[in-house]
Amino acid sequence: MKNKRRIIVISIIILFAIIFIGTSIYLVFRGIDVINAKNEYNKIASSYAGGISDIQSNTEITAPTDIDTKVADNPVDFDTLTKQNPDIYSWIYIPNTNINYPVCQSAVDDNFYLDHDIYMNYSYPGAIYSQLCNKKDYSDRVTVLYGHNMADGTMFADLHKFENSEFFDENKNIFVYTKGHKLTYKIVSAFVYDDRHIMNSFDFSDDKVFSDYLEMIKNPHSVSKNVREKLDLAVDDKIIVLSTCLNSGEGRYLVQGVLVSDERTE
């Protein structure tokens, strides 16, 4: 009987040791994966979008405009990027944050870039991406971009900076580059939302549904929210939604902006 108990105790100890070692190995490799992904994104950002950092964060744009007749600078080398990965179709930049990344969309798997990097390799941090329900030219009434809330501040983690009212007030714009266009969005609101799939939950082709959605983002029912005051929205507006995980609990943290400028670029 004693020998049997001893064998059971030893077996349990060995099992816990195996679990501990396996978990440690997983965390080490995940950490390496995060570091490698961060280094690769930094290299891409410095190589292809260095000029983006020169944009003034508080450029004041007060009213929606049609496509401007002037030609703006485009610091992103899309030809080089798309040779590396044809799924890269735009670039997002938010001043005073770490958000300065290519945006991808897979033609075969909506959530491929949830855990794959811009080189299409498996990577825990994933990439910034949209799903097939959205067009790549940002012409939909609502376009949703997803990104992880990484503990090291990469991907879309810095969206949570907009929880601070002072930061929200001082940082107003989201910039998106595509091949041939520079899109400027004014941030409407930032708030905690539930975990529903926005594009599947609302029929934005319906004017009433879209109008109600615009009212919601101007007056979100959330205990954690910041809203840009005196900003009118209409059914002919284009909205961008940046979505990431909360720091704790279920739901999503959303930063929503309205298109105020679409400039042609070289």
160 within domain boundaries: yes
Residues 18-62 pLDDT 10s = 776 655 554 444 444 444 444 444 444 444 444 444 433 333 323
> What 3 state SS string does the chain have?
CHHHHHHHHHHHHHHHHHHHHHHHHHHHHHHHHHHHHHHHHHHHHHHHCHHHHHCCCCCCCCCCCCEEEEEECCCCCHHHHHHHCCCEEEEEECCCCCCEEEEECCCCCCCHHHCECCCCCECCCCCEECCCCCCCCCCCCEEEEECCECCCCCECHHHHHHHCHHHHHHCCEEEEEECCEEEEEEEEEEEEECCCCHHHHCCCCCHHHHHHHHHHHHCCCCCCEEECCCCCCCCCCCEEEEEEECCCCCCEEEEEEEEEEEEEEC
Q: Is residue 249 part of a domain?
A: yes
Identify whether 100 is part of a domain.
yes
Q: State which residues form the domain around 44.
A: 39-265
In a domain, 120, yes or no: yes
CATH number of the structural domain spanning residue 102:
2.40.260.10
User: For residue 186, is it within any domain?
Assistant: yes
| Residue 88 included in any domain | yes
- Residue 131 included in any domain: yes
Inside any domain, residue 235: yes
Q: What is the mean pLDDT of the chain?
A: 84
Number of independent structural domains in the chain: 1
- Chain segment 132-189, per-residue pLDDT in tens: 999 999 999 999 999 999 999 999 999 999 999 999 999 999 999 999 999 999 999 9
Instruction: Return the pLDDT at 34.
Output: 42
